[in-house]
Amino acid sequence: MSGLARKRRLKKELGLFEVYAIATGTTLSAGLFLLPGLAAAEAGKAVVLAYLLAAVPLIPAMFSIIELATAMPRAGGVYYFLDRSLGPVLGAIGGMGTWFALMLKVSFALIGMGAYLRLFVPGLQVRPVAIAVALLLGVMALSGAKKTGAFQVWLVTGLLLILGLFLGGGIAKLELTELEGVFGQDWHTLLATAGLVYISYVGVTNVASLSEEVEKPHRNLPLGVSLALLTAIVIYGLATLVMVGVVPLERLQGDLTPMATVAEYVFGSWGVVLLSVAALLAFVSVANAGTLSSSRYPLAMSRDDLLPRWFRRLDKRQTPTMAIILTVVVIVLILLLLNPVKIAKLASAYQLMMFALVCLAVIVMRESHIEEYDPGFRSPLYPWMQLIGITAPIAYLLQMDRFTGLFSVGLIVASLAWYWYFARGKMVRSGALYHLLLRLAEPRVDTGLEIELGHILREKGVREEDPFDEVVTQARVLDFDEPDISFERLLRRVSEMLSAFLPATAEELEAGFLSGIRIGATPFSRGILLPNLRLFDIDKPLMVMVRAHKGVHVEVTDVHGGRAPESTVFCLLFLVSPEEDPKQHLRILAQIAEHADTDDFLRAWRRARNEQDLKELLLHDERLLSLRLRPGSQSAVFIGRQVRDLSLPDGILIALIRRGSHITVPRGQTVLRENDRLTILGEPSDIQRLQRQHDD
C-alpha cells in the first residue's frame, strides 16, 4: 500500500475499553430510563421477560456484524458491508438509511434528557439545550476518535457505577410477593412488547462503523461488543426486576422517568438526583457515541463516490472533518424541524431490515469463496444463525403498523433516488453476490473486491498463531552478484533448493511459480516480486529470499492486470504454504508485502550487509530488537550462558544469532559468545523493556 493510501485511512486509536464503552453507551439510554414505563403499560410485570426476549433477535445480527467487521475493518459499518457483499444499490440503501436512522436516534437521546431535566427545572425548553449539547459533541468528535472514546469511557464508567449502586440497593428492597405475575402474560402481548423495547439493544452494533479505527479488531471487536451486549442484558433484566418488585405496577405504568421513580422508593429524594445524573450521563453517552459512529457513514460513502468527495478529506489528526460537520448540522436540523421522539422509534424498523441484510451478507461472503475474505471472528452455528437473523426481523416488521412500514419504504425510495441521481455511473464496483453468481459459472473470476480485501489483509497483518516470524528467520537466502543472471536460472536454483524439503519436484515447483507470474496472481511492485504457491501434504510454510544485486529481468503481470515487460527485479521472496490453509498463506503473503512495499525497503535491501540484515528488514517493527554482546556493556551478562538459562520475559525469543559470517537459529543449549549479534523478537512492551535494560 502506498504512503498516500495509508494517510487516507483513519488512525487506529480505539482499544478494548473504548470499544466496550462505545457499544455500551449506545445501548443504555432511553431503553433503560424511558421505555420501561411504556412497556409496563403493555405487558405489566412481564416487562422483565419482554426485555430478555428482545435481545434474542439481535444476537444473529451481532455475530454477523462482528464477522464482517473483522474481515473488513472499514469506516461505514453496515453501508460498507452491504456494498461489498450485496452490491452498490443495497449499499446505498443501507448507508443512507442507517446514517439517517442513527442521527434520529442521537436526536432522540438529546431530547430524552428533557424528561429528567424537567424534574428539577419545570418548564425547561429542552431543544436549545439539546442543540447546545449536539454542538459540543460535534466539537469533541472533531478532536479525534481517541479523545471522543476517552470521554465515552468516563461517561460509561460513571453510568455503570451509579447503576451498580442502584441495583445493589434495589435488589435489597425487593418484595418477592410483588414479582407474582412476571410469567402471567400471554405470548402475543409478550412478543409485541419485546418488539417495542427491541430498540434498547440495537445500538450495541453501531461501533462497527468505527472498525477502521479499532486496534486489533479481530480481538477487540468480538470481545468488546459481546461484553457490551452481556452488560446490557444483565442491567436491563435486573433493573426491570427491581422496578416491578419495588414500585406498585399502577405507579410504574406509563411513567416517563421510571428509574427516578424507583430510586425514590429505594433511596429517597437523593436517589432521584443520583439516577437523574445517571440518565444525563446515559443520554449524553449515546449521543456522543452516536455522533462519532454516524459521522463515519458520509466518510465511507464519499470514498465510494456516493457522496461528494469533500467528505473523505481527513485533517492533520486523521479526522473526517466535513463528515462530522455535516452529521452535526443534520442532527441540529432534526432537533429544530422534526419530532425525533416519535420518528426515532420508527428508525428502528429500518435497522431491523438492515440487520436481516447483514445476516444475508455473511452467507453471500462465505459462499462466494473469496480467499481474501478472512474474518478474525467467525459467527457460530453458520448458516442457521444467519437464517434466524434474516427471518426474525421480518417477523417483527410484519407486526408493525402501516405508518412504520411507509416510513421505512420512504427511506428506501429516498436512498435509491439519491443513488440514481448522484452515484449511478460513478460506482462501477460489483459486490460478492456478483462474484458468487460468476463463480457458479466459471472456476476462477478475479474481481476488484478480491484486490480490495487483499489490501485489507495487508493492513490487518498476521495473527498471533501465524508462523510469520518462524518463516522469515528460517528462510533460505540466495545472494546473486552476477550481472547477467537470467530469471529462468534463478527460478531453477530456488526450485531445486525447495524440492529437497517439499513433496514436489523442482520442475513442478518451477511450473507452479511461473503459472502465478503469467496469470497476474504474483504480487509485484517497485523491483520486488513475491512468487508463491500452495502444496498439499506439507506442515508449514517455507520461504526462500533472493537478492539480485545487479537485478534480474522478469516479464510479469501485476495484480491489476497490467504488463510490465522485462521489469528489473532486485528482491524475490518465494513462499510455499500448505494448501489446506489458504487464509494463512494470504496473511503471510500480505504481511511480507506490507513490509516490502515501502519507499525505503528496496534501498535498504540492496545495501544490507548480510543475511541477518535481510531478514530483519522483514521483521523490522516494534517487535524486534537487534543486540550485540560486547564486554563491558549491559548485554555482557548473556556472554557464556546457554539460551535456555537466560532470564527473559515470557514470549521473548532469540530468533537468530550472527557469529562472524555464520548465522544460525539457536537452540536451548546454544552458548552465547562475545560479539554475537542477536535478533530478538517479542511483544512490543517486552522488547521496549529489554531494550531499556541493555541500552548502552
The rounded distance, in Å, linking the Cα atoms of 511 and 518 is 10
Q: Are residue 574 and residue 640 in the same domain, yes or no?
A: no
Count of structural domains, the chain: 3
CB atoms within 10 A of CB 514: 17
Range of lowest pLDDT (284-293, 324-333, 341-350): 341-350
pLDDT mean across residues, the chain: 80
**Structure confidence at residue 563 (pLDDT):** 54
Cβ burial of 512 (10 Å; 0-12, 13-18, 19+) is: middle
Q: Are residue 142 and residue 281 in the same domain, yes or no?
A: yes
Q: Are residue 380 and residue 289 in the same domain, yes or no?
A: yes
Q: What is the CATH number of the domain that holds 643?
A: 3.30.70.1450
| 361 vs 104 pLDDT, higher one | 361
Q: Binning pLDDT at 50, 70 and 90, where does residue 443 land?
A: very low
**Number of C-alpha atoms within 13 angstroms, CB side, residue 509?**
27
Q: Are residue 295 and residue 367 in the same domain, yes or no?
A: yes
Query: Is 368 a domain residue?
Result: yes
Query: Is 446 a domain residue?
Result: no
Which string of DSSP letters, residue by residue, matches 389-421? HHHHHHHHHHTS-HHHHHHHHHHHHHHHHHIII
Q: Are residue 207 and residue 241 in the same domain, yes or no?
A: yes
Query: Is 58 a domain residue?
Result: yes
**Structure confidence at residue 2 (pLDDT):** 41
Nearest to 462 by CA among 667, 623, 654, 627: 623
Could you check whether the bond before residue 578 is cis, i.e. omega within 30 degrees of 0? no
Q: Are residue 533 and residue 411 in the same domain, yes or no?
A: no
> Hey, what's the cell of 515?
503459472
Q: Are residue 392 and residue 475 in the same domain, yes or no?
A: no
Classified as helix, coil or strand, 306 is coil
Query: Is 457 a domain residue?
Result: no
The rounded distance, in Å, linking the Cα atoms of 109 and 307 is 27
End-to-end Cα separation, the chain, in angstroms: 36
**Structure confidence at residue 509 (pLDDT):** 93
List of residues 6+ apart from 691 with CB closer than 8 A: 625
> Hey, what's the cell of 384?
442457521
Query: Is 454 a domain residue?
Result: no
Residue 589 predicted with pLDDT over 60 = yes
End residue of a domain, out of 372, 407, 423: 423
Query: Is 438 a domain residue?
Result: no
What percentage of the chain carries pLDDT values higher than 90? 10
Query: Is 535 a domain residue?
Result: yes
Q: What is the CATH number of the domain that holds 551?
A: 3.40.930.10
End residue of a domain, out of 574, 590, 611: 611
Q: Are residue 371 and residue 251 in the same domain, yes or no?
A: yes
**Structure confidence at residue 588 (pLDDT):** 87
Q: Are residue 359 and residue 299 in the same domain, yes or no?
A: yes
pLDDT in tens, 270-282: 888 888 888 888 8
Rounded to an integer, the average pLDDT of 343-350 is 66
> Hey, what's the cell of 639?
556472554
Residue 312 predicted with pLDDT over 60 = yes
List of residues 6+ apart from 393 with CB closer than 8 A: 57, 61, 352, 353, 355, 356
Q: What is the CATH number of the domain that holds 258?
A: 1.20.1740.10
| 688 vs 487 pLDDT, higher one | 487
Q: Are residue 310 and residue 380 in the same domain, yes or no?
A: yes
Nearest to 319 by CA among 145, 152, 79: 145
Annotate 628-640 with three-state secondary structure: ECCCCCHHHHHCC
Residue 386 predicted with pLDDT over 90 = yes
Range of lowest pLDDT (38-42, 138-142, 203-207, 612-616): 203-207
Domain ranges, residue 346: 3-423
Q: Binning pLDDT at 50, 70 and 90, where does residue 341 land?
A: low
Q: Which 8-state DSSP code applies to residue 561?
A: S
Q: The pTM is what?
A: 0.72
Q: Are residue 106 and residue 145 in the same domain, yes or no?
A: yes
Which string of DSSP letters, residue by residue, matches 90-118? HHHHHHHHHHHHHHHHHHHHHHHHHHHHT
Rounded to an integer, the average pLDDT of 321-344 is 80
End residue of a domain, out of 399, 423, 447: 423
Q: Are residue 527 and residue 653 in the same domain, yes or no?
A: no
**Structure confidence at residue 445 (pLDDT):** 46
Query: Is 62 a domain residue?
Result: yes
